[in-house]
């Protein structure tokens, strides 16, 4: 009972501290305060002095309303956004803790989002973090991994703090016409730029040592892939991407001029989706050195009419010639032991 009475008295004293409009009201308030127990007056005074500190440590209401987040090991991960604004600046700190991560699909589907600024404190961005943000035209980022299907995005300059471009990072950003990959990047993920129909050229810097499958597939207007001369893992030959030894043909640019192409004699493997979507090609000459043809290697080469598989090929990947609507016949040699 004493505890309940003290709580009631505390609430009464807080009410007494509220401003009044009349002189008589002020007198009544002062009289009532004087009648309050000494312990209550002391405790309330301490609470009032601590209030600014409490407010400082509490996240602003607007931040709490916009974002959902989790705390782990003294850092913040943004897990969601309410899609309330067209332009958003992600704070570098929430509740006094640094924002270091943006979670998987955190902003996905915010179709009205046109611009986003990510603070330098962020070191990790989850897959599909900005997927299907179809109106997004501007991003300022310290690190990247997932802006898939941001169909309004036209250009990206990746800062020198970035070392890895994640899987599907810019996949299906079909309005993207320009991307600058800094020398700090060592990894380009699987399908990182797949379906970027607006890209016309790409330069792979010297330090890139790992490029995932189909990183530049279905880039319909891509005419050339250039590789830094000092790159130890990859090479570019006449705008076509190979491994350094030129034994694997990784990517033939879908927009490259010409209707015929002869694969170099050094090649033993045609990679996954290596020619996929090359709709202008009518013929490809495969040398006898080739032993494997990858998954969807010639998928949707709709103009391809002439193709001979040499008799040293032992494996042909699934859907290797799917969508080749002009290819009326193809001879599979006896050397092939695996299809699909």
Which tens digit of pLDDT belongs to each residue from 177-229? Answer: 989 999 989 999 999 999 999 999 999 999 999 999 999 999 999 999 999 99
| Residue ending a domain, choose from 35, 56, 77 | 56
Token pair of 263, please? 């694969």
> By residue range, what is the domain housing residue 279?
258-340
Indicate the range of 24-33, 159-168, 301-310 predicted with least confidence. Answer: 24-33
Q: What mean pLDDT, rounded, does the chain reach? A: 83
> What is the per-residue pLDDT for 120?
75
Does 31 fall in a domain?
Answer: yes
Going from the C-alpha of 336 to that of each of 150, 165, 274, 291, 313, the distances in angstroms are 41, 36, 20, 9, 6
**Residue 98 CB coordination number (10 Å):** 16
Contact 138, 163 (CB under 8 A): no
- pLDDT tens, position by position, 148-173: 778 888 888 787 767 788 888 899 99
User: What residues have CB less than 8 Å from 309, skipping those under 6 apart?
Assistant: 286, 293, 316, 330, 331, 332, 333, 336
pLDDT classification of 64: cutoffs 50, 70, 90: low
Residue 96 has pLDDT above 80, yes or no: yes
The percentage of the chain sitting over the pLDDT mark of 70, rounded to a whole number, equals: 79
Phi, psi for residue 331 in degrees, rounded to 5: -100, 125
**265 within domain boundaries:** yes
Q: Looking at the DSSP assignment, which residues form a beta bridge with residue 276? A: none
Is 46 within the bounds of a domain? yes
CATH number at residue 284: 3.80.10.10
Q: Are 35 and 28 in contact (CB under 8 A)?
A: no
Angle between helix 2-16 and helix 38-57 axes, rounded to 10 deg = 70
Q: Which of 10, 41, 56 is the last residue of a domain?
A: 56
Q: Tokens 């002062």 belong to which residue?
A: 30
- Domain-embedded: residue 287: yes
Does position 301 have pLDDT exceeding 80, yes or no? yes
Q: Is residue 189 in some structural domain? A: no
Overall domain count for the chain: 2
> What are the Cα distances from residue 9, in Å, to 4, 47, 50, 54?
9, 15, 20, 22
Average pLDDT estimate for 324-339: 95
Q: Give me the residues paired with residue 307 across strands.
A: 284
Among 39-43, 78-82, 230-234, 324-328, which is the least confidently predicted range? 39-43
Q: Is residue 173 part of a domain?
A: no
pLDDT at 158: 80
- Alpha-carbon span 16 to 32, nearest angstrom: 8
Convert the pLDDT of each residue in 112-127 to its tens digit: 998 888 887 887 788 8
Average pLDDT of the segment spanning 52-78? 70
pLDDT digits (tens, 9 = 90+) for 235-281: 999 999 999 999 999 999 999 999 999 999 999 999 999 999 999 99
Q: What is the pTM of this model?
A: 0.65
Q: pLDDT tens for residues 48-62?
A: 444 443 333 444 555
Domain membership of residue 214 (yes or no) is no
Nearest-angstrom CA–CA distance, 130 and 17? 48
Structure tokens at 103: 């979670």
Instruction: Kindly tell me if the per-residue pLDDT of 2 is higher than 70.
Output: no
């Amino acid at each position: 009972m004493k505890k309940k009475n003290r709580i009631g008295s505390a609430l009464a004293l807080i009410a007494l501290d509220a401003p009044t409009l009349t002189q008589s009201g002020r007198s009544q308030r002062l009289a009532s305060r004087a009648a309050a127990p000494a312990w209550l007056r002391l405790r309330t005074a301490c609470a009032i002095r601590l209030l600014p500190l409490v407010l400082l440590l509490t996240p602003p209401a607007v931040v709490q309303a916009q974002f959902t987040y989790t705390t782990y090991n003294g850092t913040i991960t943004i897990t969601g956004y309410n899609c309330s604004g067209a332009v958003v600046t992600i704070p570098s700190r929430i509740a006094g803790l640094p924002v270091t991560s943006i979670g998987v699909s955190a902003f996905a589907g915010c179709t009205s989002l046109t611009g986003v600024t990510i603070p330098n404190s962020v070191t990790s961005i989850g897959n599909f973090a900005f997927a299907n943000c179809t109106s997004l035209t501007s991003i300022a980022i310290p690190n990247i991994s997932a802006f898939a299907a941001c169909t309004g995005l036209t250009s990206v300059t990746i800062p020198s703090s970035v070392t890895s471009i994640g899987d599907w990072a810019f996949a299906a950003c079909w309005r993207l016409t320009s991307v600058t990959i800094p020398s700090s990047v060592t990894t380009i993920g699987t399908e990182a730029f797949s379906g970027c129909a607006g890209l016309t050229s790409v330069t792979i810097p010297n330090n890139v040592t790992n490029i995932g499958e189909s990183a530049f597939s279905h880039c319909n207007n891509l005419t050339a892939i250039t590789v830094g001369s000092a790159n130890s893992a990859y090479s570019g030959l006449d705008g076509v991407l190979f491994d350094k030894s030129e034994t694997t043909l990784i990517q033939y640019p879908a927009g490259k001029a010409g209707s015929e192409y002869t694969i170099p004699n050094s090649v033993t493997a045609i990679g996954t989706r290596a020619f996929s979507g090359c709709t202008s090609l009518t013929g490809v000459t495969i040398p006898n050195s080739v032993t494997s043809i990858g998954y969807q290697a010639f998928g949707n080469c709709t103009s391809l009419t002439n193709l001979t598989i040499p008799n040293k090929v032992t494996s042909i990947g699934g859907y290797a010639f799917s969508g080749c609507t002009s290819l009326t016949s193809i001879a599979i040699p006896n050397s092939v032991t695996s299809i699909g």
